Amino acid sequence: MFKQPKGVRDAWELVARLSNMDATSDTQGTETTSYTLGTNYYYSSKVKFMANAIYSEVSGPGAASLVGNEDNGLGFTGRIQYLF
């Protein structure tokens, strides 16, 4: 459950995240790294808007079999949360 910060009207929140997974050996496996930047907007005590931009990279000896020539990508997500 989220709550709009007290005493703040129309509150904004900025977020950042770095994720890394390394599943490589000498001959197989992949490593992925993702960077996320986002924002949350608390419209009211019951409504929250969320948006993220995510950039991911894949590398390692098994990357070509997993993703072919595309070894990075950019994605966007958006959500609206309503508390009943």
Inter-CA distances, 16 with 22, 38, 47, Å = 20, 6, 21
The pLDDT value given to residue 60: 80
- pTM of the predicted protein model: 0.74
Nearest to residue 20, comparing CAs of 9, 11, 31? Answer: 31
Spatial contact of 58 and 68, defined as CB atoms under 8 Å apart = no
- The pLDDT of residue 5 is above 70: no
**What confidence category does residue 80 fall into, taking pLDDT thresholds of 50, 70 and 90?**
very high
| Geometric angle at alpha carbon 18, from 53 and 72, rounded to 5° | 60
Q: Is 33 exposed, middle or buried (0-12, 13-18, 19+ CB in 10 A)?
A: middle
Q: What is the pLDDT of residues 52-77, one digit of tens each?
A: 999 999 888 877 777 778 888 999 99
